[in-house]
Each structure stands twice: as structure tokens, then as C-alpha cells.
């Protein structure tokens, strides 16, 4: 708690009372990989469906109205315990025909997604949670970085919706990284998302998950960012991610305690 309070004060300029309040929320939303694994691998699919279908959606028109003929890159941030809830909602949306083919880029071994059994896939398909005709995982660990990148380019070029979490790792500050302002701090992210946009010239749409009311969640879509507006790919991705930071970490630091604890300078 004390460490979280100090980090919050340094980053956001909170006074001691505000820092203590947000530090308690950080504790509430503490990252636990076991919860991810249980949710994805073990929870009865009927219960997963109940959770997914209870999610409130904000800004759906942003997703539905964007031109997907060049593919669409969704960018998001790791939301504490519930990163899996976002991509499962999108997989369910693809299975129901709300969006076209959907691909999520992930790294197995981080939260054991690679251990999903064939039986689990079959359960998910029978229940309507997802369809492997409209949904795929591209695993960086299994394919290797180069092959995974080529696969994402191929899927975007055929018009897929691809979800990427650019904050899986942070970099030392350098001129080539994508820089984001977080309160008084600056963090640097890899340029993988910008490389994809450069290769495909696809639009970028920010999306995130947030708490909703007492015990619910909302998926929120922001406005599209596009190179056709005259911006270079790095600026397009940086703009989408800065939008996310403004509406998530800056608006309510508690659910983003992984950033505060693990990634922001102490």
C-alpha cells in the first residue's frame, strides 16, 4: 500500500488522501494470473457466457461504422484481472456476426492461454461463445515474432479485425519507441503496432474495459485514427494509445495498478 501511494503521488501529483484512496483501489484490482487462467481454462462455459453477455457496450457505433475493407487494428491496454474478458467479448461478437473475422495477438506462457484444450474449444463452440471460423489466436510464443507478424499482416489485409495489447512490455526511452505521457511520467512502448499500420495502412481503433456500476464491466470503443488523415503510422498509434491512457489510467488509476506497481518509475 505504501509503495503504491508513493508511486501514485509521483506520477499523478495526488495529495496523501487521494493517493491512499487510489492505492486501496489498486489492491482491489490486484493482478492475479490464476484468475485469468481459471476464467479462460476452467470456469464452466455457461458461466463465462453469463459474464460476457452482462457486459455493457459504449461507443459500438465507432466499431460498426469504421471502414474495415483495409482491416482494422484494435489497440488496448492490459486491464488488471480482466484482459481476457475483452477479447472473449469480441470473439462472441464475431460468432454472432456483429463483426467479421476476429484475431487476437497474444503470448502464451504469460497467462497460459496456449494450454486451451481441444475439449475446451469444442465446449466454447457448442455454447456459441466463439467460432473458430470467425476467431483465431495468433501466438507469438508458438509462431515466433517474425511469423506472427506476417500472419497479422495477412489477416489485416484480408479485412480481419485484430486486437493488440502494445503494453505487454515497456522499453527504455529511445527515439524509436512510441512515447506516452502518464501524468508526470513518460513511458515507451514497442513499435509493433505502428509497424503493422505501416505495412497495411489500416485504421486504428482504441478499445478498453472498465468497471461499470457496482460489479459490472463495460467495453468502450473510442474514435478511429487513420493514416488517411495525413498522419504517419507512429503518430496514428500514439494518438490512439494516448486516448486510451487519458480515459483509463488517468481517469481512474485503481484498475490499472499493474502500470503503477510494475511499469511506472518508482
Residue-wise pLDDT tens digits, 36-84: 666 677 778 888 888 889 999 999 999 988 887 889 999 998 765 567 8
Q: What is the pLDDT of residue 78?
A: 77
Long-range (24+ apart) CB contacts under 8 A made by 47-52 are 48/88, 48/129, 49/92, 49/127, 49/128, 49/129, 51/85, 52/85, 52/88, 52/89, 52/92, 52/129
| Phi-psi region at 216: left, alpha or beta (left = phi > 0; alpha = psi -120 to 50) | beta
pTM of the model: 0.85
For residue 241, the surrounding DSSP H or E stretch is helix 233-247
Q: Is residue 10 predicted with pLDDT exceeding 90?
A: no
CA dihedral 31, 35, 41, 45 (to 10 degrees): -120
Rounded average pLDDT over 244-250: 89
Rounded Cα–Cα distance for residues 52 and 160 (Å):
22
For residue 259, give the DSSP letter: I
Among candidates 245, 257, 263, 247, which has minimal Cα distance to 182? 245
Among candidates 180, 207, 223, which has minimal Cα distance to 74? 207
Least confident of 52-56, 183-187, 208-212: 183-187
CA angle, 50 as apex, 27 and 92 as ends, to 5°?
Answer: 100
DSSP string, 123-175: HHHHHTS--TTTEEEEEHHHH-HHHHHHHHHHHHHTT-EEEE-GGGS-B---T
Confidence of residue 259 (pLDDT cuts 50, 70, 90): low
CA distances for 195 relative to 110, 123, 201, angstroms = 23, 36, 10
Rounded Cα–Cα distance for residues 61 and 37 (Å):
31
Q: Are 39 and 48 in contact (CB under 8 A)?
A: yes
What does the pLDDT look like over 112-168, one tens digit per residue?
444 567 888 898 899 988 898 999 988 887 888 899 999 999 999 999 999 998 876
For residue 10, the surrounding DSSP H or E stretch is helix 2-12
Amino acid at each position: 500500500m505504501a509503495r503504491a501511494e508513493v508511486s501514485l503521488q509521483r506520477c499523478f501529483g495526488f495529495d496523501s488522501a487521494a493517493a491512499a484512496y487510489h492505492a486501496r483501489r489498486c489492491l482491489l484490482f490486484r493482478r492475479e494470473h490464476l484468475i485469468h487462467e481459471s476464467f479462460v481454462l476452467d470456469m464452466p462455459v455457461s458461466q463465462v457466457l453469463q459474464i460476457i453477455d452482462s457486459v455493457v457496450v459504449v461507443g459500438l457505433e465507432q466499431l460498426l461504422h469504421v471502414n474495415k475493407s483495409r482491416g482494422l487494428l484494435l489497440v488496448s491496454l492490459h486491464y488488471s484481472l480482466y484482459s481476457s474478458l475483452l477479447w472473449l467479448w469480441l470473439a462472441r461478437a464475431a460468432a454472432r456476426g456483429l463483426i467479421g473475422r476476429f484475431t487476437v495477438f497474444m503470448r502464451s506462457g504469460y497467462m497460459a492461454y496456449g494450454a486451451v484444450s481441444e475439449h475446451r474449444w469444442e465446449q466454447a463452440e457448442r455454447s456459441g461463445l466463439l467460432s473458430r471460423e470467425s476467431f483465431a489466436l495468433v501466438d507469438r510464443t508458438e509462431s515466433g515474432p517474425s511469423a506472427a507478424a506476417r500472419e497479422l499482416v495477412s489477416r489485416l489485409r484480408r479485412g480481419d479485425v485484430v486486437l493488440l495489447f502494445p503494453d505487454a512490455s515497456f522499453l527504455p526511452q529511445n527515439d524509436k519507441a512510441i512515447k506516452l505521457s502518464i501524468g508526470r511520467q513518460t513511458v515507451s512502448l514497442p513499435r509493433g503496432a505502428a509497424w503493422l499500420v505501416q505495412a497495411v495502412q489500416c485504421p486504428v481503433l482504441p478499445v478498453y474495459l472498465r468497471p461499470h456500476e457496482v460489479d459490472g464491466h463495460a467495453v468502450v470503443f473510442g474514435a478511429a485514427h487513420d493514416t488517411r488523415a495525413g498522419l504517419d503510422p507512429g503518430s496514428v498509434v500514439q494518438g490512439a494509445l494516448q486516448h486510451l491512457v487519458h480515459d483509463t489510467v488517468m481517469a481512474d488509476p485503481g484498475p490499472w495498478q499493474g502500470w503503477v506497481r510494475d511499469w511506472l518509475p518508482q
